Amino acid sequence: MRISVVGTGYVGLVSGVCLASLGHDVICVDKKTEIVNKINNFISPIFEPKLEEMLEKVIKLKKLHATTDISWAVKNSEITIIAVGTPFKDGAIDLSYIKESAKEIGMQLAGKNEYHVVCVKSTVVPGTTDTIVRTAIEEASGKKIGGFGLAMNPEFLREGCAVDDFMMPDRIVIGAFDDQSFHVMAKVYNTVFDDPIIRTNLRTAEMIKYTSNALLANLISFSNDISNICESIGGIDAIEVFKGLIQDKRIVVKTKGEAVFPGLTQYLKPGCGFGGSCFPKDVKALVTHSTAHAYYPKILEAVLAINEQQPSKMVEKLEKLIGDVQNKKIAVLGVAFKPETDDIRESPAIKIIKILLEKGATVFACDPKAINSAAKELESEFLVLTNDYQEVLKDAEGVLLITPWESFIRIKPEEFSRLMKKPVIVDGRRVYDKLEMESHGLIYTGIGI
């Protein structure tokens, strides 16, 4: 099929490249010429494993092209996917990019006789597609719904493995205004994937996305709440608590003596909080949206409150071991909000670095991919950003592990001892073995101890 994708951010570019690799003819649209030029020259503007290689392949096969010309893109496609950003701004989700895109698409549909489906893939609060998007298209095109199709197809892409998530989906949700809209969108997937398509109305599809992210955020904050209780009581390691929890037969599946743990259990672990472009923004947006409809979601408000306090707990644990951090070199391992991405949006590491700098520490931070992104967010004469973890550890009086990149997990205890002035480790992701660290003379603590 001929598909145009408006927006080449994380969702738009991954979706466009993957759809092209499935055999569709894809046109990616972005307002920024420099981004379009990068894409057409095989350069991905974002870091995501496998993406750049796939991008080069589909462009060489002439299955994907990027342009700034939305008119040409819409007129030469059967489906237009809206994948623009929906940031959280001034206490609510900002739908201005959605509305603007819908209006521009509608203007192109005014002179187009061929039936065209507009599909929202951006994460939007329930009621957006059938009100804001529909109205903008109708007003700009002069057509009524039915003369064009309208669908909502949420994405479930995890940064760091987004390509695999798209190519091997665990679910395909299509919210559709009518049968014709649904059948056109179903053709995008049902010739490729065997997974059943979940058909819903537009608002339900929007809500499925929010509910998915809200559940995972709940599990993370629940884990941190339990971990904080363990710390308050003392003599309890939260890691052991959760090991015991997930053996419950209502959680684990045991077949012939072998345990199979659902993917959800990876969120049941103490840590320094969630970040990224989805969980914080989406939970906040859902709270605000539900409040506007006279329902006050107490659990989700608590999820956000717990997450907000976790980064400061890392600094507090460090100060208990080394005292005041002022004028001390503190090492931070990890800047991205999770491994295998350069995304620093809402990253606990950024919050932790800011706290350390405010307290007068000299901070050396390391990340394999996110240093350039961090440099745009953080600026201080007392901050050094590098991808060399040995430079970060050298003569440090404490280290905070924030992002569990594999290269950090592999650092040997003796290397910490050799490089650091004072070998104090605060493990924000509980990736190191406490007994092994202590057996090498390291002072070790972590979230949930």
pLDDT at position 259 is 87
Alpha carbon distance 207, 414 (integer Å): 49
Task: Return the pLDDT at 62.
Answer: 98
Do 341 and 237 reside in the same domain of the chain?
Answer: yes
- The reply to whether 422 falls in a domain is yes
CB neighbour class for 326 (10 Å; exposed up to 12, middle 13-18, buried from 19): exposed
- Look up residue 232 and give its two tokens: 């308050």
Question: Could you say which of 145, 174, 200 is where a domain stops?
Answer: 200
Give the CA-trace dihedral at 124, 130, 133, 137, to 10 degrees: 160
Q: Are 81 and 119 in contact (CB under 8 A)?
A: yes
Query: Same structural domain for residues 288 and 416?
Result: yes
Task: Determine, yes or no, domain membership for 390.
Answer: yes
Instruction: Please tell me whether residues 159 and 222 are part of one structural domain.
Output: no
Cβ neighbour number for residue 283 with a 10 Å cutoff = 25
Residue 207 lies in a domain: no
Q: CB neighbours of 231 closer than 8 A, spacing ≥ 6?
A: 238, 448, 449
Same domain, 244 and 177: no
Residue 120 lies in a domain: yes
pLDDT given at position 258: 86
Residue 404 confidence (pLDDT): 97
Q: Same domain for 273 and 315? A: yes
Residue numbers of the domain that contains 81:
2-200
Boundary-marking domain end, from 200, 229, 244: 200
Strands 443-446 vs 88-89: parallel, antiparallel or unpaired: unpaired
Same domain, 245 and 274: yes
Task: Report the pLDDT value the prediction gives residue 190, as an integer from 0 to 100.
Answer: 85
Q: Among 200, 228, 248, identify where a domain stops.
A: 200
In a domain, 240, yes or no: yes
Report the distance separating Cα 153 and Cα 172, nearest Å: 8
Residue 413 in any domain: the answer is yes
Catalytic annotation, residues:
278
Q: What's the one-letter identity of residue 415?
A: E
How far, in Å, CA of 217 to CA of 161, rounded?
18
My answer on whether 306 and 171 are in the same domain is: no
pLDDT in tens, the chain (449 residues): 999 999 999 999 999 999 999 999 999 999 999 999 999 999 999 999 999 999 999 999 999 999 999 999 999 999 999 999 999 998 999 999 999 999 999 999 998 999 999 999 999 999 999 999 999 999 999 999 999 999 999 999 999 999 999 999 999 999 999 999 999 999 999 877 777 899 999 999 999 999 999 999 999 999 999 999 999 999 999 999 999 999 999 999 888 878 899 899 999 999 999 999 999 999 999 999 999 999 999 999 999 999 999 999 999 999 999 999 999 999 999 999 999 999 999 999 999 999 999 999 999 999 999 999 999 999 999 999 999 999 999 999 999 999 999 999 999 999 999 999 999 999 999 999 999 999 999 999 999 99
Residues 378 and 264 in one domain: yes
Within this chain, do residues 261 and 324 fall inside the same structural domain, yes or no? yes
Which pLDDT does position 278 carry in this prediction? 93
pTM: 0.94
Q: Please name the residues in contact with 449: beta carbons below 8 A apart, sequence gap of 6 or more.
A: 230, 231, 237, 238, 434
Q: What pLDDT was estimated at residue 222?
A: 98
CATH, residue 259? 3.40.50.720
Domain tally, the chain: 2
Are 117 and 184 in a shared domain?
A: yes
291 and 422, same domain (yes or no): yes
> Does 183 share its domain with 255?
no
Q: Residue 206: inside a domain, yes or no?
A: no
Residue 382: inside a domain: yes
